[in-house]
Structures are given as structure tokens and as C-alpha cells.
């Protein structure tokens, strides 16, 4: 890929995409930030809506590489992603870096199907497969919501462990995968430095906030019912709860050295992340 190549960043306002845009620009690369509501002050922002295929061709025009955040919250994304891949391929895009998940292999439903089609469409396709985001503790995620509202983290994971990762570290790897002359390969499994259980994470949140935060261990169907009652679609709730069951079974209890291997610096620990983001954690009976 030439140094001058423009990179289209989908999900540019999101957890990883925002860091990918800033990381590319720090490296002197042109990042075309795609959003349904592009920032007027950003000359390189472009309107992009998965629900409107007319936005695809202008977004990929003149682009060499794409950072792909698949349509979020869409049960059947292939009818949206297939024409996007066609437009990108026709525009000469050679390299795509997709945000997938450590829980999703090539060919698995939804993100894995996109991974498979992308790998068959583009010369250089890299699926990033990160563990669970540390950002789930501070954003719109049910984990963050439980901390803010009740000082509790309710999961169906038991003492099962996982390698929580900072979205900024995922983005740092994405930038390398997008701009390096060499192709970094078909998939990269990414974790933070430690494999931790939610009870351990709840204790860390409590330490950072100096407030009690407890872990509530639910059965898988109890968690699904809670999420549905909180307003999440039933199928999404069931899917999230099923992932927890896989964590409980130990499937996600591993760490990789990929972030450090590729970026040259160690990934952020959960404790460092929680401390950095402590103002967004929010639970404090004293502050309200």
C-alpha cells in the first residue's frame, strides 16, 4: 500500500473507529471518517449509512484501505455488507481490516460470515478478533449501566475469565494493519495483559471508586430475561447471555501477546483503564 493511500474508517465515531481516525492522522495518513452524521468541521468526513447503499460509492472512491465496523445491532448484515464489498472492490480497495471478535471464527454467523466473504473478496483482509472491550464498563453497555445504577455487575459468567482489552489498543493494532507495507495476515486475536473474571473486575471497579461494587452471578436464562426486561431485543439478549455461558465454560480464558508484538508497547491493564476513565464509571451514592 502506498504511503499516500486514503483509509476509509467506518464506525468513525465509535469505540475503536474514533481511535483509528486519530491514530491514522497522527501517522500522517488521510483518514476519511464515515458516519451517519459526519462532523461539519472535518473536511475528510463523509456521510455513510449501512441502511443507504447510495452512500457506499462516494465513501470508497479513491480509497486504498478500509477499516470495517460491521452494521451494529443488525441480525442479518450480509445484504448490507455484500454490496459495500462490491463497491469497495470496484473502487480498487486492496486492503480491509475488519473488527470481529475473539468469540467469532471465520464462517461463524454474522461477523464470521463477513470475515469469510471479505477474505474471499480482497487480496489483503485482516480480521481483528479482540476479547471483550474495557469500554463496556463505562459506555452504554449493560455492564456499565449496572455499575452506574446499582453498583453491581450482573453476568452469567461465574468465575470464568477473559482478556478484557482497551479499544484504544485494538485501534493501535488496526492502524498498523492498515498502513504497514507488509500484510499482517488473515486474523489477529487480541487481548489485554490479564485474564480476569467479572468478580475480580468488580473488585477493581470498587477499588477505583472506593465504593462497594458487587458481582451478581446469574444463570444464562436469567441474564437473557434481565436484558430483555431492560429493553434489549430478545434475540440480542439471548446472544449476549450465550456468550457469557461460553466465558463461564473457560473458552475465553487466555491472553495473547499480539498487541505488544505489533505495536511495540504493552496493552493497557484493566486497572489502568478504570483509573483513566474513573469519571465515566459513575457509581457513587455520595455524588449521586
Site string for ligand NAP, 85-124 (x = CB under 6 A): --------------x-x---------x-------------
Distance CA 11, CA 20 (A): 10
- Using CB under 6 A as the binding criterion, the count of chain residues that bind ligand NAP stands at 25
Nearer to ligand NAP among residue 73 and residue 285 (C-beta): 73
Tell me: does residue 126 bind ligand NAP (CB under 6 A).
no
Rank residues 51 and 287 by Cβ distance to ligand NAP and give the closer one. 51
3-state DSSP assignment of residue 256: coil
Q: How far apart are CA 273 and CA 38, in angstroms?
A: 28
Alpha-carbon gap, residue 136 to 143, rounded angstroms: 6
CB nearer ligand NAP, residue 13 or residue 211: 13
Query: Is the Cβ of residue 21 or residue 184 nearer to ligand NAP in the bound state?
Result: 21
The length of the chain is 288
Evaluate whether 104 touches 130 at the Cβ level (below 8 Å). no
Residues 141-200 that bind ligand NAP (CB under 6 A): none
Of positions 37, 54, 279, 286, contacts ligand NAP by CB under 6 A: 37
Give the whole-angstrom CA distance, residue 219 versus residue 234: 16
Task: Please select the residue that binds ligand NAP; options are 69, 174, 206, 240, rule is CB under 6 A.
Answer: 69
How far are the Cα atoms of 26, 205, 256, 271, 287 from residue 282, in angstroms, in the given order? 31, 10, 30, 16, 9
Distance CA 102, CA 117 (A): 18
Q: Which is nearer to ligand NAP, 49 or 217 (CB)?
A: 49
Judged by CB under 6 A, the stretch of 67-75, 153-161, 186-194, 218-226 that binds ligand NAP is: 67-75
Per-residue cell: 187: 486474523
Interface contacts to ligand NAP, rule CB under 6 A? 11-17, 35-37, 48-51, 69-72, 99, 101, 111, 130, 132-133, 136
Amino acid at each position: 500500500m502506498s504511503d499516500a493511500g486514503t483509509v476509509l474508517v467506518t464506525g468513525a465515531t465509535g469505540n475503536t473507529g474514533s481511535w483509528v481516525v486519530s491514530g491514522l492522522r497522527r501517522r500522517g495518513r488521510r483518514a476519511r471518517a464515515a458516519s451517519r452524521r459526519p462532523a461539519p468541521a472535518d473536511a475528510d468526513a463523509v456521510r455513510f449509512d449501512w441502511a443507504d447503499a447510495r452512500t457506499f460509492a462516494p465513501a470508497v472512491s479513491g480509497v486504498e484501505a478500509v477499516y470495517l465496523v460491521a452494521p451494529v445491532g443488525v441480525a442479518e448484515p450480509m445484504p448490507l455488507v455484500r454490496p459495500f464489498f462490491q463497491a469497495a472492490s470496484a473502487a480498487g480497495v486492496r486492503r480491509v481490516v475488519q473488527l470481529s471478535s475473539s468469540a467469532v471464527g471465520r464462517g461463524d454467523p454474522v461477523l464470521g460470515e463477513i470475515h469469510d466473504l471479505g477474505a474471499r473478496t480482497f487480496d489483503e483482509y485482516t480480521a481483528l478478533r479482540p476479547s471483550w472491550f474495557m469500554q463496556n464498563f463505562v459506555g452504554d453497555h449493560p455492564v456499565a449501566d449496572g455499575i452506574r445504577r446499582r453498583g453491581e455487575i450482573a453476568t452469567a459468567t461465574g468465575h470464568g475469565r477473559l482478556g478484557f482489552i482497551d479499544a484504544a489498543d485494538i485501534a493501535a493494532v488496526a492502524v498498523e494493519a492498515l498502513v504497514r507495507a507488509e500484510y499482517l495476515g488473515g486474523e489477529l486475536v487480541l487481548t489485554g495483559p490479564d485474564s480476569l473474571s467479572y468478580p475480580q473486575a468488580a473488585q477493581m471497579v470498587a477499588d477505583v471508586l472506593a465504593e462497594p461494587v458487587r458481582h451478581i452471578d446469574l444463570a444464562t436464562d436469567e441474564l437473557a430475561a434481565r436484558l430483555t426486561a431492560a429493553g434489549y431485543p430478545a434475540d440480542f439478549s439471548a446472544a449476549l447471555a450465550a456468550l457469557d455461558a461460553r466465558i463461564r465454560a473457560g473458552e475465553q480464558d487466555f491472553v495473547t501477546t499480539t498487541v505488544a508484538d505489533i505495536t511495540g508497547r504493552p496493552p493497557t491493564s484493566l486497572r489502568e483503564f478504570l483509573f483513566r476513565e474513573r469519571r465515566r464509571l459513575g457509581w457513587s451514592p455520595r455524588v449521586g
